[in-house]
Amino acid sequence: SSSSACVPMMARYLASLVCLGLVCAQDWPTCQEENIVIRNAGRALFTNLQGFGATVGCFQDDCQNTDKFVASSIESCTKVCQSLPECEFWVWGQEEGEQKCWFRLGDDGREAGEGWISGSRSCYPPGQQAIVMGNFDCWIDGFNYDTCCDPKFGPSGNSQCWDGVFNYDRCCFPKEEL
């Protein structure tokens, strides 16, 4: 029948859609755009980065509402961008003598910048996975970062989440540093 001839073509089409869904990483590290910076241009992604481990170098020292943070490696940028559904681009560069990551909703502010490296959401090392906010070991029985650690609950999080084993400091920060 004529429908069976379409099966291989349909399989290739579905595979291409999966890659469009950013499941397929670009070639790393060749996907990095060297000496390119993506400035704010109204497209900065301000969000809570504290749960990913951001603690310093944030906008106005507020890591719960920032588009940047001090990071130990370029992979911190790729990992966090991959973990934020709204993130389209990451930027790795220096500000005030410290290496930082920035996150963007688009690349409207793209320009040449000596020493900067930028990449799209799909530019990350092979095998890298998105990261969960907070300490993954805490999120059992319906508890998660949003229900326990959201800034709306104040500096100690949602008291309903904590007991002798689980607390804000243990659960609202990841086990590994960025």
Copy the structure tokens of residue 107.
């690349």
Alpha helices in the chain (DSSP H): 2-20, 74-83, 145-149, 168-171
For residue 24, the model assigns a pLDDT of: 59
> What backbone torsions phi and psi does residue 16 show, to the nearest 5 degrees?
-70, -35
- More confident: 80 or 176: 80
41 half-sphere exposure, CB direction, 13 A CA radius: 12
Q: What is the mean pLDDT of residues 123-137?
A: 95
Instruction: Convert 60-82 to b/e letters by CB count within 10 Å (16 or more is b).
Output: eeebeebbbbbbeebbbbbbbbb
User: What integer best gives the mean pLDDT of the chain?
Assistant: 89
Q: What is the pLDDT of residues 7-56, one digit of tens each?
A: 444 444 444 444 444 445 789 999 999 999 999 999 999 999 999 999 99
In DSSP terms, 119 is beta-bridged to 90
For residue 178, the model assigns a pLDDT of: 81
- More confident: 84 or 2: 84
In this prediction the pTM is 0.82
